[in-house]
């Protein structure tokens, strides 16, 4: 066991001798029972520990040919549909609460139209209620978009693309700069909304909005650097160029609940400066975030006398997502979600020869070598496995420990797990908020049963917490790397622990799952680092050294391999996917030499 004290953003540990297999419990911060007996969330006023501060790093017309085959997309958990006799947001008094006054500042109301089409708000779909995962109480009602709303909005969006793509790229960058400034002005309100409706802790909610602001800043610079290249020609008096980069037209963005606005930023900021209009379908269970973000973008377009249809947004379910996937007016669709749903989207988009950017499941591993800085690795694993309640695609789900440090590392990790404060994500000091939906909580419990049935040993946690919200214990499981459940993504704070003897064995375990998003190794040896980065190392899209698997910066391209989908978004040269390139060869002479020395008559 180790006793932890906390300084600013740093964890100091002092070793004590105790058994790691003792029944898990919390100190005064939060007492957790053994896995068989979940407990309610206690008052945090009794805590005698300081919290661990997480350092958040920061087109052609519709086809008239034969209809494409339609594959129904799975509908993710929806906001709860309200009934005529049900209690609405006014009855619940959500907007009367002092702590919810920021909702008014964001232009939200007890009932909100959920379709922004043709530059105007509306919606003719079903009325749904959105709830807070902290207590499953209603926040507000939203009138979702219908397929008719979608079609009306897409016509306007498609027409607006002609206007937007004709504006010079640096001028488009100026509009994105203004969007970033407008987001800065609402940073803390938006961050609170993310925490309230999605459930991640407030520092992470604010950090998510900051990520969009960072993307706006990045895109402004990019708007003056959409550069091409000059290629030497083998023919005399010829020049070959790849300097022609043109907009695609309209980019479709379908986002998930766990990053309800940041992933929009990865796509929309780049798509806009590249000259594309954007049609966005937000997650069905976070419609208020979709609406609040859209209001801010729409206000900037209106201020600059630009068509509101440049940015079109819909709250809705699978029917809207399927409409985007099948729409020939949308050359590129970015989809974030499960591997199963992503495969369906890819099949539908590819069937019409569109392009996909897929950000799908992750099953990420951290390897800790025998020479690693143990304290640095423990802090990294804690954030990677517990941050966002284990609901990031980059969450660390597998911890691969060298056998020589296995028990020492687990002793220290279990001790810091005991100090994780669970509770309201909007309250200062909380490190672990709720899972997003009651269904997520049920999936967690089913997953624990599956783990036990496959020989997994619960070292810490393993239970739900009795409360109005969707709270569960952060969980550490000792299990074989070959167990079938380890190959799957259990979307919650469950960490599988396994040991290895050689680097080759550790890399094989890392690469043994279908997913290939993020990975990290902790070591001080250059020869291990370069082996890890090389062709016989990690097969993931993100290959880190001495940092967590999560918390990626926006400057690099984000995405993964294998069942993660192969997409790359955000920084680096990801912008090229949002434009169409053309290669041009110019003959400025009077002769006609042919390539490859061909003599044709």
* Tokens describing residue 492: 């919650």
Q: Within 13 Å and on the Cβ side, how many CA atoms surround 561?
A: 11
Contact in structure between 367 and 286 (CB atoms under 8 Å):
no
CA distance 393 to 362: 5
Shortest CA distance to 330 belongs to which of 176, 478, 151, 182?
Answer: 151
CA distance 408 to 413: 9
Of 152, 197, 359, 569, catalytic: 359
CA distance 280 to 26: 43
Give yes or no: 359 in active site: yes
Cβ within 8 Å of residue 262, ≥6 positions away: 208, 209, 211, 212
Angle at which helices 169-185 and 187-197 cross, to 10°:
70
DSSP 8-state assignment for residue 98: G
CA distance 563 to 539: 12
Extended beta strands in 403-464, E state? 457-460
Spell out the alpha helix ranges (H) of 333-401.
Answer: 339-351, 374-386
Contact in structure between 363 and 497 (CB atoms under 8 Å):
no
CA distance 523 to 438: 39
Give buried/exposed letters for 228-252 (b at 16+ CB in 10 A, else e): eeeeebebeebebeeeebebbbbbb
For residue 495, report the phi and psi dihedrals to the nearest 5 degrees: -115, 120
CA distance 47 to 51: 9
* Tokens describing residue 46: 């009794």
CA distance 332 to 134: 36
Cβ within 8 Å of residue 348, ≥6 positions away: 68, 70, 71, 73, 322, 325, 326
**Residues classed as catalytic:** 359
């Amino acid at each position: 066991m180790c006793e932890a004290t906390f300084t600013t953003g740093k964890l100091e540990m002092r070793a004590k001798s105790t058994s790691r297999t003792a029944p898990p419990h919390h100190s005064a911060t939060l007492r957790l029972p053994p896995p068989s007996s979940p407990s309610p969330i206690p008052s945090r006023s009794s805590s005698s520990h300081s919290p661990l501060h997480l350092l958040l790093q920061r087109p052609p017309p519709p086809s008239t040919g034969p209809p494409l085959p339609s594959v129904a997309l799975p509908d993710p958990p929806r906001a709860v549909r309200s009934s005529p006799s049900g209690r609405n947001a006014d009855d619940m008094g959500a907007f009367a609460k002092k702590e919810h006054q920021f909702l008014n500042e964001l232009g939200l109301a007890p009932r909100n139209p959920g379709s922004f089409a043709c530059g105007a708000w509306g919606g003719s779909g079903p009325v749904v209620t959105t709830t807070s995962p902290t207590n499953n109480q209603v926040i507000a009602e939203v009138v979702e978009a219908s397929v008719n709303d979608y079609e009306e909005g897409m016509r306007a969006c498609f027409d607006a693309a002609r206007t937007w793509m004709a504006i010079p790229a640096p001028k488009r960058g100026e509009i994105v700069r203004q969007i970033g400034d407008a987001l800065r002005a609402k940073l803390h309100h938006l961050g609170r909304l993310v925490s309230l409706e999605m459930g991640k802790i407030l520092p992470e909610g604010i950090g998510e909005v900051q990520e969009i602001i960072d993307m706006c800043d990045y895109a402004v610079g990019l708007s003056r650097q959409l550069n091409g290249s000059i290629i030497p020609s083998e023919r005399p008096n010829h020049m070959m160029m790849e300097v022609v980069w043109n907009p695609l037209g309209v980019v479709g963005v379908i986002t998930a609940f766990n990053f309800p606005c940041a992933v929009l930023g990865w796509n929309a900021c780049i798509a806009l400066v590249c000259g594309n209009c954007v049609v966005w379908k937000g997650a069905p269970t976070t419609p208020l975030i979709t609406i609040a973000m859209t209001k801010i973008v729409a206000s900037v377009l209106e201020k600059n006398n630009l068509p509101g249809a440049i940015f079109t947004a819909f709250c809705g379910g699978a029917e809207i997502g399927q409409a985007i996937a099948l729409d020939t007016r949308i050359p590129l669709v970015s989809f974030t979600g499960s591997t199963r749903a992503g495969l369906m989207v890819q099949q539908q988009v590819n069937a019409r020869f569109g392009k996909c950017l897929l950000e799908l499941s992750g099953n990420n591993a951290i390897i800790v070598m025998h020479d690693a800085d143990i304290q640095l690795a423990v802090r990294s694993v804690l954030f990677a496995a517990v941050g966002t309640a284990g609901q990031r695609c980059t969450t660390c789900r597998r911890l691969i420990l060298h056998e020589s440090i296995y028990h020492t590392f687990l002793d220290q990790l279990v001790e810091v797990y005991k100090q994780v404060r669970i509770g309201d994500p909007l309250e200062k000091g909380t490190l672990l908020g709720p899972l997003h939906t009651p269904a997520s909580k049920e999936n967690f419990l089913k997953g624990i049963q599956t783990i036990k049935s496959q020989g997994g040993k619960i070292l810490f946690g393993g239970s739900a917490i009795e409360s109005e919200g969707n709270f569960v214990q952060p969980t550490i499981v000792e299990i074989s790397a070959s167990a079938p459940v380890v190959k799957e993504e259990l979307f919650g704070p469950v960490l599988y622990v396994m040991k290895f003897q050689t680097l080759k064995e550790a890399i094989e375990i890392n690469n043994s799952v279908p997913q290939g998003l993020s990975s990290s190794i902790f070591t001080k040896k250059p020869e291990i680092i370069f082996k890890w980065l090389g062709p016989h190392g990690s097969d993931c899209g993100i290959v880190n050294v001495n940092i967590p698997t999560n918390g990626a910066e926006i400057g690099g391209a984000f995405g993964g391999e294998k069942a993660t989908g192969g997409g790359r978004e955000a920084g680096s040269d990801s912008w090229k996917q949002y434009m169409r390139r053309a290669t041009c060869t110019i003959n400025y002479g009077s002769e006609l030499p042919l390539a490859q020395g061909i003599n044709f008559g």
